[in-house]
Amino acid sequence: MDRIELDVSEEEAPIPLIRATEALQKLPRDSYLHITHRMAPCKLYNYLEQNDFYAETRRGESGLCEIYICHTSASDVKLYIAKLVQDMALWH
């Protein structure tokens, strides 16, 4: 499985949302998107729900918001993400 990186931590709205949705439209079923952002991208979560994506949001070691996203139907990728984030702090 491939990890696709997208760092939008220094981008101003609406660029992070545009770049994230563009990346998700091309996301292979056996891969996941890792987004680094300075805050939780609230508008992105509606897009994820409407387009059948699964996401976990955590606080990274750098203090930035990290979002891990895959297709809801990709159970093996979801399990991998769950293990990956299990020791990370929740984003509040």
pLDDT of residue 92: 80
Residue 40 has what pLDDT? 93
Q: In the chain, which stretches have pLDDT less than 50?
A: none
pLDDT of residue 21: 98
Query: What are the tokens at 53?
Result: 């994506």
Q: What pLDDT sits at residue 1?
A: 87
pLDDT in tens, 64-75: 999 999 999 999
pLDDT at position 24 is: 98
Left, alpha or beta for 41 (phi > 0: left; psi -120 to 50: alpha)? Answer: beta
Give yes or no for a contact between 78 and 52, defined as CB atoms under 8 angstroms apart. no
Question: Does domain 2-90 correspond to CATH entry 3.30.110.40?
Answer: yes
